[in-house]
Amino acid sequence: MSEATDPWLIVGLGNPGPEYAANRHNVGFMVADLLAERIGGKFKRAQKAQAQVVEGRIGPPGPANRRVILAKPMSYMNLSGGPVTALRDFYKVPTDHIVAVHDELDIDYGMLRLKLGGGDNGHNGLKSMTKAMGSEYHRIRFGIGRPPGRMQVADFVLKDFSSTERKELGYLVDRAADSVECLLAEGLERAQSAYNS
């Protein structure tokens, strides 16, 4: 059972490399980058895992202030489970204190859904994490909507957000980062009622 003093591991899912940086599949990295900026940290290579990490604290002073490790796996998306498990073990993070922030096809663009556990819905990053450590971790699902027409899912997620989507993207990434902070400070139910749209 998790203790209030246990650290949290916030994992932004994405693919490493500049060619993927603005892809829909990399919205988890975007949220992780913003959270790192908020706590005044810079990502650096993890010692014990194929990942970049920032350590710090999130939340107001007092009992709701949480020790966090922000992480961006530097494997490709479909191999995220290895780096996340290595970080979990190194930092001694209970599985229910892990939060995966990821893109979600089955939710309209910009909508958020927070949940604990569940299936992977075909998402390769979640599939890899669940295979490595079970499914009882938190997810913050960032809606990217379905591909238009006959476009293949793989092509859609590896394309950059459209110019129309980019107009709102900063605000939406900001809101997703807020939802992470709310989850840590106030718990899942409060965060769901505030941010599930």
Two tokens, residue 187: 């718990």
**Interatomic CA distance for residues 139 and 136, integer angstroms:** 9
Sheet hosting strand 51-58, strand order edge to edge: 44-45, 51-58, 66-73, 8-12, 98-104, 138-143, 112-116
Place of tokens 């591909």: 147
- Residues 128, 163: Cα–Cα separation, whole Å: 31
Where do we find the tokens 């950059």?
160
The one catalytic residue among 25, 97, 123, 138 = 25
Phi and psi torsions of 30, nearest 5°: -60, -40
Cα 48 from Cα 88, distance rounded (Å): 10
Active site residue 97: no
Query: How far, in Å, CA of 28 to CA of 12, rounded?
Result: 4
CB-neighbour burial class of residue 60 (10 A; exposed 0-12, middle 13-18, buried 19+)? exposed
- Please list the active-site residues: 25
